[in-house]
Amino acid sequence: MSLLKANKITFTYENSAVFKDLSFSLDNGDFLCIVGPNGCGKSTLLKCLVGQNKLSSGKITFGNDFHFNQIGYMPQNPKFNDSFPASVYEIVASGALNRVKLLEPYPKERINSALKALNIQNIARKRFSNLSGGQRQKVLLARAIVASEELLILDEPSNNLDYHSKQDFYKTLQKLNETLTIIMVTHDLDHNNLIGNKILSLDKDHPFFGTTAEYVRRIHAH
């Protein structure tokens, strides 16, 4: 079942097209990796998908009964004030802000489930600013999970992770993909780390949308 369709979308900034006439689609359960060189519009595209940027032309449509508050979004470099004494639990719980109504209690079961999924329940009371880079990435992913009903959108979530932390992180994403559709921007073109089933390349010289297997064959052919 189709979850998302982008039909000939264009985004223009200062009279220059960041991307133009871009089309792709996702079904429920897909895992799309978005690749391409710096400046090709990967992060801009994600902001269009979550409604932060307005398209210059074209249309993005979602499946029936889908709402923006069902998206869990993890931006590339989220800004947190390290002097603010927020705990891991509080950061993760903030993912529910768009899901709960005024005076409605936070969904504790959902929050605890996200902490458990990322294996960070043991640091739930620690101060976020005192965590390592790998721990912070897991906390921010847990926050996005709490926000998500069907779709996770992640902008280079493996940035600043060492090799082993990155592999653990990717295994976690693959597990999450059993119940959530995922869109992930990545610079990691090692074919072993293209963990999704679909690839969207925004490289203007070699644009591509299709299966990961087909994309890997193409890059090995060049």
Residues spanned by the domain of 55: 1-66+152-161+180-222
Cα–Cα nearest to 181, from 17, 21, 71: 71
Placement of tokens 């090692």 in the chain: 190
CATH number at residue 187: 3.40.50.300
User: Do the domain assignments include residue 106?
Assistant: no
Give the tens place of pLDDT for each residue, 88-104. 999 999 888 876 655 55
- Domains held by the chain: number: 1
Residue 222 inside a domain? The answer is yes
- The answer to whether residue 4 is domain-embedded is yes
Residue 218 lies in a domain: yes
CA atoms of 197 and 129, how far apart (whole Å)? 35
Does any domain span residue 139? no
Supply the pLDDT for residue 99: 66
| Total-model pTM | 0.89
Residue 49 covered by a domain? yes
DSSP 128: G
- 112 occurs within a structural domain: no
Please give the pLDDT value at position 54: 93
- Model confidence pLDDT, tens digit, residues 37-86: 988 999 999 999 999 999 999 999 988 777 777 789 998 877 777 777 89
Is there a domain that residue 171 lies in? Answer: no
